[in-house]
Chains A and B, each alone.
Chain A
Amino acid sequence: DAMVIQNPRYQVTQFGKPVTLSCSQTLNHNVMYWYQQKSSQAPKLLFHYYDKDFNNEADTPDNFQSRRPNTSFCFLDIRSPGLGDAAMYLCATSRDLNRAFFGQGTRLTVV
């Protein structure tokens, strides 16, 4: 059974057109993460929520925003996607200091 679900698996958006990626979890974990992973690179942490507390990484561009309306859902909003934002976006969850569970990712293409 899928525990961390990302929709859609593949997303194509136009340059400059806002796009939202979604993540949901059935684990009731209190921490949710968004990572950006470009080809052959390490996943790069963009931000995470600890419960309702939002924690932004210092080098995350302002173009990236996130919302967590409830425990189960977390959204990644890219306000004005550029060609450089094309990547795989990974959502993960964890409970406190335990392992992170990852979704299958959303592959974003910017045209």
Chain B
Amino acid sequence: AQTVTQSQPEMSVQEAETVTLSCTYDTSESDYYLFWYKQPPSRQMILVIRQEAYKQQNATENRFSVNFQKAAKSFSLKISDSQLGDAAMYFCAYRTPAGNQFYFGTGTSLTVIP
């Protein structure tokens, strides 16, 4: 079974600074999808960014970008110019290419300090 590991249970960042959240995963597949989801206190999961494994270029969405290292099976999320609204639990997720399942890491709780 695929596993997704987030080794940082908690992180904090000063407002306007940059923070990087780590994620590693284990798979024998060559083609798959990776996601970062944000879960604010309201509990609704929101997609932040996604990366297709076959693409070498790292995905970017405004202040959010990823560092995808396929050989190392690493998928970190960088948040630039952190804002108070970025405070949430962040989950890294892996999607199987054929099985449709999403597998989640244990999450990183991000605090943004004013």
Q: How many A-B residue pairs have CB under 8 A?
A: 56
B91 and A94 contacting across the interface, CB-CB below 8 Å: no
Interface presence of B95 (CB below 8 A): yes
Kindly identify, within residues 11 to 61 of chain A, every residue whose CB is under 8 Å from any CB belonging to chain B.
31, 33, 40-45, 48, 50, 55, 57
CB distance from A3 to the nearest CB of B (A): 11
Task: Fill in one digit per residue for B29-63: 1 if any A CB lies within 8 Å of its CB, else 0.
Answer: 00001010100001111110010000000000000
Q: Residue on B with the closest CB to A43?
A: B104
* In-complex Cβ contact of A92 among B4, B33, B97, B102 (8 A): B102
Q: Residue on B with the closest CB to A2?
A: B44
**Residue picked from B4, B97, B100, B105, most chain A C-beta under 10 Å:** B100
CB distance from A90 to the nearest CB of B (A): 7
How many of chain B's residues touch chain A, expressed as a range? 20 to 34
Query: CA–CA, A50 to B91, complex, Å?
Result: 23
B35 and A43 contacting across the interface, CB-CB below 8 Å: no
Query: CA–CA, A100 to B48, complex, Å?
Result: 11
**Apart from the given pairs A99-B47, A99-B50, 16 other A-B contacts in the complex at a CB distance below 8 Å:** A31-B100, A41-B106, A42-B104, A43-B45, A45-B101, A48-B100, A88-B43, A90-B45, A92-B102, A96-B100, A99-B35, A100-B47, A101-B47, A102-B37, A102-B44, A102-B46
